[in-house]
A and B are shown apart, each in its own frame.
Chain A
């Protein structure tokens, strides 16, 4: 029977309980959001006794379904105050699923200030003393745990930023080589883990793809078909496996939708210098890898391994991060981008939030735009816990308030990612309305707006953007429940066999008879649960808005403003 592992940090009790019937059909984001909704008071202090950190593999994680090893981490966000699900690659999702664990729940409030770890294996789970790991960066923590518990373990951990309860702290886990850089980065869930004083969760599983499946033959056929659907699609089968996610840099720049200098401009002259093409060239020349799978069984392999000049390895540099530390700060040096990325991974900060925060600090004149060395020096303050370091770790909204900056790119307190909402309006609608705070993955309208995947909707016109964002938000919530990588959407949106094949895999695994309609209903119900949590936490439609400069200041690449009306934004969830 599938289990839920509860770690009560008040009583130090570790309990493996049978998953209740009502959770059996849920996984990933569907399960984390439902447990948070059921068990966390919406008005609670995110860093207090009543919040919980919920970690869940997806419904298909741990099977041979291609690209199905994504991990969901949920809780009430200290950054936004909303419900939050942050999604990561890495190897622990499949391991948890293979141990038949549907979710790990950290709950309560520690009575003392000791640090603990949780060790999970086929015999159960137990706490261990982690005082020797406290204060250490995630790379070192992961290396120590792999040495102590075996090279093949997955290590979920936080860095010093999470220990210091910084609002932009993420939760990470490692890839197959032990790089601790697979982040459930967004929303400060690392601070929630830190508030529970759990430094690491070590997952040791002897198998990866052996989750029980009701009808193995049928499953195998469906998984094979799904793999072909992915590989036959030009983006999933060619684009992503060639240059990784940072292949976007040049096309978003050419499209005039690349946020530059804290969202002032839409194009950056040096974009090519920090693009996926350049990354592949440098990484390979230094003995790294242009492409890499973040978890076993991924067919898209969009990750990379980038060796820094000093021999340290940053794996990977994703598009969002390259944008945030590159064009957003007017930095055109990939080694500077990689260094900032590496520091974030080690200290345990969300790169998108941190990039937006550095943009705000540059806006304030604390450090100059374009000054990579000053940015590195500032980011190094985080691990030291200095005043500046704590401001950087608190995210863009806080930094804006501290330094009196009004040009702050956030929604619901969360930094806006790498697509300007004026020149990619579908994403603007998603940023404004998703229950998660500005989040590009929650309804990735770049597909139809710029990549011409799943149809075409003119990115500069507001026409059709609400419908596009709504449909993508629903589909994304459902995909996030399966443990499939969101990038399967590129193929699924263009192939009528996509969703039915996902249903076929789920049906074969669980002995169900789901139809594509049920998938839509699942997506809708997840969003409804999340919206309801936010409503009870005090959020209203006035929170579903972009910062005002997007409405008043045209982006120069196309001379357009964000012009989707409030009424139109309020119609996104009319289902």
Chain B
């Protein structure tokens, strides 16, 4: 929007997928369906969950580009993020 440039925080765009029931928090999004989220630079998985409205205790695993990320890990522009509740099998 015009006029807000001075206050603009640098935003980054990340690609998110949710699985195994977490999609119930995101009406209109199917499991495995990629969607993008804009967040301020320096955001963490906690910030992402808060933006998405997914309770933290529902999420067991955060994968960033195929690697585990801690709650305090830093997200970066272009990251592929997968969110999972507890899963296992074999």
Contacts and interface: CB of A to CB of B under 8 A. Distances in A.
A573 to B, nearest CB: 23
A319 interface: yes
Interface in B50-70: 60-61, 63, 65-68
A490 B90 CA distance: 11
Nearest to B23: A277
Contacts of B31: 250, 272, 275, 277
B86 A446 contact: no
B88 A453 contact: yes
B20 interface: yes
A373 interface: no
Interface in B1-37: 17, 19-21, 30-33
Contacts of B88: 235-236, 239-240, 247-248, 447, 451, 453, 487, 490
Contact of B66 (A243, A452, A486, A558): A558
Contacts of A257: 66
A557 interface: yes
Interface string A2-17: 0000000000000000
Contact of A302 (B17, B85, B86, B89): B89
Given A250-B20, A254-B17, A255-B66, A238 B85 contact: yes
A444 B80 CA distance: 26
A247 B20 contact: yes
A538 interface: no
Contacts of B90: 245, 248, 319-320, 440-441, 444, 446, 486-487
A255 B87 contact: no
B45 interface: no
Contacts, number: 105
Contacts of B19: 250-251, 254, 275, 277
A105 B63 CA distance: 48
B14 to A, nearest CB: 14
A271 B80 CA distance: 16
Contact of A235 (B21, B66, B80, B87): B87
Given A254-B17, A452-B68, A456-B68, A243 B87 contact: yes
B63 A251 contact: yes
A118 interface: no
A86 to B, nearest CB: 15
A138 interface: no
A557 B87 CA distance: 21
Nearest to A319: B89
A251 B85 contact: no
Contact of A239 (B63, B66, B82, B85): B85
B66 A256 contact: yes
Given A234-B60, A254-B17, A277-B19, A451 B67 contact: no
Contacts of B63: 251, 254-255
B68 A247 contact: no
Most buried by A among B30, B33, B86: B86
Given A245-B89, A452-B68, 14 more contacts: A238-B86, A239-B88, A240-B88, A242-B20, A247-B88, A248-B87, A248-B90, A251-B84, A255-B66, A276-B89, A277-B31, A319-B90, A440-B90, A558-B67
Interface of B: 17, 19-21, 30-33, 60-61, 63, 65-68, 80, 82, 84-90
23 contacts: A235-B86, A236-B88, A242-B20, A242-B21, A243-B87, A244-B89, A247-B87, A248-B90, A250-B20, A250-B31, A250-B32, A250-B84, A254-B17, A275-B19, A275-B31, A276-B20, A319-B89, A320-B90, A440-B90, A453-B88, A486-B90, A487-B89, A490-B88
Closest 6 CB pairs of A and B: A272-B32, A245-B89, A234-B86, A256-B66, A235-B88, A254-B82
